[in-house]
């Protein structure tokens, strides 16, 4: 029995953990080959080894154009093509009130969260355009939909991802390349767990689950597999008539009128400059 993306090839940035890892596993289970593009060498190599012949790891800093280009080229060299680009890598990044946000931390956050998506999209388009086929997917956030759901730099970058998605979808439609985004709500990953943990404390996924569940309109938290399912839909032919769209996967938080968490002021949760990947 063939999978929903049988025979297709994907590059997944931030693919060694969290949403990226969950998506790599889901894509392989549905018949795809994947390039795990991440800075986490040990975790990325271990995941690729576990997934076997269907996966390769490539050490990738998403702010480096050479690294992104090489990850895309590896997909073509190893598996013959590139059908799916999932621009997913991310960090929490710069935190604090706007009057106190460090400029270098702001620049680094924007570089990872927005420049990284630009580079992934650019080099995916480079190889997809001649074939007139492909699906480009980028991870935004509910912080890309509403203010107050994340720190300022994170929010600005995630809004930028949605704008870039719409703009590039308009350009690439003539080549039958679809460009979409996903805006996850709070999702239980090591990054969100690190955000909820006290400085120096061990990462506690169970505690993150409880915290996120307590604020969810549905009463339960989202997990990487929930976002992976959305990515799978956008990667497959089931979404063949969808482009320029942002799929919100947040238990209805942004639709329900729930009061946003003022994370950047630290009223509900303290952000930490951990640099962990989603």
Residues 6+ apart with CB under 8 A from 268: 261, 262
Residue 274: what pLDDT?
Answer: 32
Q: What is the pLDDT of residues 195-213, one digit of tens each?
A: 655 555 556 667 777 777 7
Domain 9-187+222-252, CATH among 3.40.50.720, 2.40.50.140, 3.40.190.10, 3.30.70.270 = 3.40.50.720
Q: What is the pLDDT of residues 67-99, one digit of tens each?
A: 999 999 999 999 999 999 999 999 999 999 999
Q: What is the 3-state secondary structure (H, E, C) of 26-86?
A: HHHHCCCEEEEEECCHHHHHHHHHHHHHHEEEEECCCCCHHHHHHHHHHHHHHHCCCCEEE
Closest CA to 265 of 103, 146, 151: 151
Number of Cβ within a 10 Å radius of residue 240: 10
- Provide the residue ranges of all domains of the chain, joining segments of one domain with +: 9-187+222-252
Residues annotated as part of the active site: 141, 154, 158
**With pLDDT > 90 as the criterion, what percentage of the chain qualifies?**
76
Residue 269: what pLDDT?
Answer: 39
d(CA 61, CA 40): 10
- Taking only Cα atoms into account, the Rg of the chain, rounded to an integer number of angstroms, comes to 18
Residue 136: what pLDDT?
Answer: 99
Residue 206: what pLDDT?
Answer: 72
Q: Which residues pair with 135 in a beta bridge?
A: 84, 178
Which residues of the chain fall below pLDDT 50? 262-278
């Amino acid at each position: 029995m063939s999978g929903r993306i049988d025979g297709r090839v994907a590059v997944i940035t931030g693919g060694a953990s969290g949403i990226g890892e969950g998506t790599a596993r889901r894509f392989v289970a549905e018949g795809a080959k994947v390039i795990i593009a991440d800075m986490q060498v040990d975790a990325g190599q271990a995941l690729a080894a576990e997934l076997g012949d269907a996966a390769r790891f490539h050490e990738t800093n998403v702010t480096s154009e050479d690294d992104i280009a090489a990850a895309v080229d590896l997909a073509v060299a190893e598996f013959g093509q590139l059908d799916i680009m999932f621009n997913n890598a991310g960090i929490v990044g710069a935190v604090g009130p706007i009057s106190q946000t460090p400029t270098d931390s702001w620049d680094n956050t924007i570089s990872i969260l927005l420049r990284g998506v630009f580079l992934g999209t650019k080099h995916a388009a480079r190889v997809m355009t001649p074939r007139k086929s492909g699906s480009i997917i980028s991870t935004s956030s509910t912080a890309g939909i509403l203010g107050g759901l994340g720190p300022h730099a994170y929010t600005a970058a995630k809004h930028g991802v949605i704008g870039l998605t719409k703009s590039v979808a308009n350009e690439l439609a003539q080549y039958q390349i679809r460009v979409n985004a996903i805006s996850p709500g709070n999702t239980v990953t090591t990054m969100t767990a690190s955000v909820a943990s006290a400085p120096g404390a061990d990462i506690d996924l169970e505690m993150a689950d409880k915290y996120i569940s307590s604020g969810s309109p549905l009463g339960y938290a989202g997990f990487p597999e929930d976002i992976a399912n959305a990515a799978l839909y956008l990667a497959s032919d089931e979404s063949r008539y969808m482009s320029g769209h942002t799929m919100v996967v947040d238990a209805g938080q942004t639709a329900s009128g729930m009061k946003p968490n003022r994370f950047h002021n630290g009223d509900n949760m303290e952000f930490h400059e951990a640099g962990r990947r989603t």
